Structure 1
Amino acid sequence: MERVARARMARARIEKEKQEKATPLDTPQTIRNRSLRTAITASLKTARFKAQSERAKFETVANDLMDPESEIRMLAAAEMAKIGNLAAVPILIAAANDPDPYLVAETLNSLIVMGDSRALNVLKEKITDPHYRVRIAALRGLYKMADNDLIKMASIEAIKDDHPEVRKTAITFIGWKDFSEGVPPLVQSLNDDDEGVKKAAIASLANIRDKAAVMPLIKILSDNSLEVREKALSAIQMIVGEEISFDAQLTGDALSEAQKNLKQWWQQRRISVAQEEPDLESLDIDRPPIDTPPQKLEPSEKSQTQKQQHNSLNQNLNRK
């Protein structure tokens, strides 16, 4: 019996030791902190500092990214960008996995400030984040750091976003980049329910100056918002390159009549311009192909040609 009792006591002691040594169940926060701690350790091994005090400050700020208080983590993310040491890039990328969208947006902003291309992957990933602030930050980062093809693709896709602030940001970037491929979705955005999105679309169309946008802009001169009508009129004038007689403050039948007259004027102007422009493809110009070498004249032909030119010159001089 004593042997059994001792065995049971031994097993109990072993189980107790196991429980004491056992790690607590992993929570999302502990997993993220573990990832951050790994990134911080790796960065400190390769980072270069002018003084030990700089290293100590960097490490303190980096560790603040694991603080339980969200505000402290956000301040730490912003401070990382101010420090400016590129060793912070992997740390900020790891911090971008935090569930707090405000911290993630602040982290992306810091990565944008630092301008390191290693951030591109996380920016592309966050362009579809559930929170609109993160999507806006990611879109801004791509605008600052990505090539034009990626910016164009991401911005045009973001015009279809559910949140008006994201749509407005994407529309603005298309105008700033002068992407003519963005004209069709910009025209569609003139019918957006959000007035801010409409005004952003008008501004971008005015910047791109594609004449295909004139008629859609004329159509929204009947918009309920006076500011939208005034901006649309200004955009039309910028695109066509001349002042237009139109009172944006008109209402009712007077507005409809003025809008109708403006449509007719634009249609007639387009027809006139098309008629004035030469149709180069229909011109029948009898000339040798570009690749055909000039024909060489025989000596007798050359002499005859020179004689004809000489006689023609004498006739012109005699007339004078």
Structure 2
Amino acid sequence: MTYPHTDRRWILRASILAAATSVTPGALRAASPCEREPLINPIIFQRADPHILRHGSSPYYFTASVPEYDRIILRHAPTIGALGRAEEKTLWQRPVQGEMAGHIWAPEIHRIDGRWLIYFAAGNSDDVFHIRTYVLACAGDDPMADEWSVLGQLETPWDTFNLDATSFHHRGVDYLCWAQREPGIETNSNLYLAPLASPTTFAAPPARLTVPTLDWEIQGFKVNEGAAFLAHGDKVFLTYSASATDDRYAMGLLSADADADLMAPESWTKSATPVFESAPEHCIFGPGHNSFTTDECGRDVLVYHARDYQDIEGDPLYDPNRHARVQRFGYDHEGFPVFGKPVRSGPLRQDDLA
């Protein structure tokens, strides 16, 4: 398959490497002995819907959508920066025909009840957009070496378009948040939450948390998708992405008190405006479908994809150059995350890490 703008990848890589060699090492690093190497954006080219899981005190696992939408990959490295040069292993390849032989989207790796699982979305060979959520399970404790197989399909309330499942643990409960089209609601997808009974079933009826109604959420498509959980102080948050997957793609925020009933939709408050969006002045467009991790110093890191150009030839879904990127962020005086603007490509500067 030939993709438009693929040559930009190598032009960008050359410019980034040139920038990296034109600054002093001290300018690349925060003044902390726990950081072993600088971060250079994009950290991984042509990997959309990036998900980084830090397991234990050091190792990082990375998975994402590949431009071919045909497989599930995994990388492992001791640092975030090293993920870009880590060996990439294909854990599972879609079948030639039938169920799960269509588009393969947005894998996320999770460790739940001592078991390695990957949630992902897949279409069928006769309808690549017949998207449903499935679960891969690892046969052992080493996700890079042990065998993976399909555990089953997520049992959602309706047999409709659904994707972008993410799991989190809060106050002794494993939850799953995902995006789905609900019959009777004229949107492409809304966000739902439920406690897990097993990797593929729920312990209680799902709660609908948000429907795309705001102007910035319905540009091109009416979408709420790609949720990611964040806890800080006495609050919890779910970021999500909205609108079409071009430069209008942006991130929103749901917030709740940490001790609230998370299954009660009224516990959650939605931001009125995007909390992270395109920054033309930095040549970053369509940032979204994020995840969260921590760096070697334990500081919060935003993981997301974005393009470095605005104009796209054809359907944005088939433009391959959504690159995986990272940046640190902080919190305001009320404890809400402040993501700022997507930083420019190249080495993260000292003030980017502040």
Smaller-chain TM-score bracket: under 0.3
Tell me which structure has the larger Cα radius of gyration: 1
Using CA pairs below 8 Å that are at least 6 residues apart, which structure has the higher relative contact order? 2
Greater percentage in helix: 1
TM-score (norm. length: structure 1): 0.23
